């Protein structure tokens, strides 16, 4: 009897670990977020950087893990180590801009052009960081 209880507990524990492992490494598609379907908070690159610099705590509450639609001038376009296109959008501060990683690698914006992107804001390091972005204009 005691052996059956121990085996049952071990089986439940093994299934729990397997379930957690599955959801961490193989997220089902209905859990993935598509920024194209969300309404973004419209803001210019200059304004969002100023907001984070003046009051980071309030800006974290307002923008973190939310869809943002940012407009501004492209300062730089590169590829990251995974091959995704990254964009730096200018602000008024030469040392703090908006760093964007595009979701699709087929989009190739040009330096100096004005752009509008929509993505998920993940925070402020020395730049405002936006991931999984799409170009809207």
Instruction: Provide the Cα torsion 40, 44, 48, 53; round to 10°.
Output: 180
By the 10 Å C-beta count (0-12 exposed, 13-18 middle, 19+ buried), 94 is classed as exposed
- Residue 134 predicted with pLDDT over 60: yes
Question: pLDDT for 84-126, tens place per residue?
Answer: 899 999 999 889 999 999 987 676 788 898 999 999 999 998 8
Which H, E and C letters describe 110-132, residue by residue?
A: CCCCEEEEEEEEEEECCCEEEEE
For residues 133 and 137, what is the distance between their CA atoms, to the nearest angstrom? 12
- Rounded CA-CA distance 10/16 in Å is 10
Rounded mean pLDDT, 57-69: 93
Average pLDDT, the chain: 88
CATH number belonging to domain 35-135: 2.40.50.140
Query: How many C-beta neighbours within 10 Å does residue 102 have?
Result: 23
pLDDT tens sequence across 25-40: 776 655 567 787 889 8
Domain ranges of the chain: 2-31, 35-135
Answer for the pair 117, 70: CB distance below 8 angstroms, yes or no.
yes
Q: How far is CA 47 from the centre of its chain?
A: 19
**Residue 28: per-residue pLDDT:** 60
Global pTM value: 0.75
In this prediction, residue 38 carries a pLDDT of 85
């Amino acid at each position: 009897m005691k052996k059956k209880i121990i085996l049952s507990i071990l089986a439940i524990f093994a299934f729990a670990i397997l379930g957690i492992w599955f959801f961490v490494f193989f997220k089902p598609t209905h859990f993935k977020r598509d920024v194209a379907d969300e309404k973004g908070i419209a803001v210019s690159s200059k304004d969002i950087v100023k907001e984070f610099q003046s009051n980071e705590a309030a800006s974290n509450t307002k923008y973190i893990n939310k869809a943002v639609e940012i407009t501004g001038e492209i300062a730089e376009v590169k590829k990251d180590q995974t091959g995704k296109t990254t964009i730096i959008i200018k602000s008024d501060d030469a040392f703090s801009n908006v760093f964007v990683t595009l979701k699709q690698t087929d989009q190739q914006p040009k330096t100096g052009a004005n752009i509008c992107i929509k993505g998920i804001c993940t925070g402020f390091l020395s730049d405002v960081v936006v991931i999984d972005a799409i170009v809207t204009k």
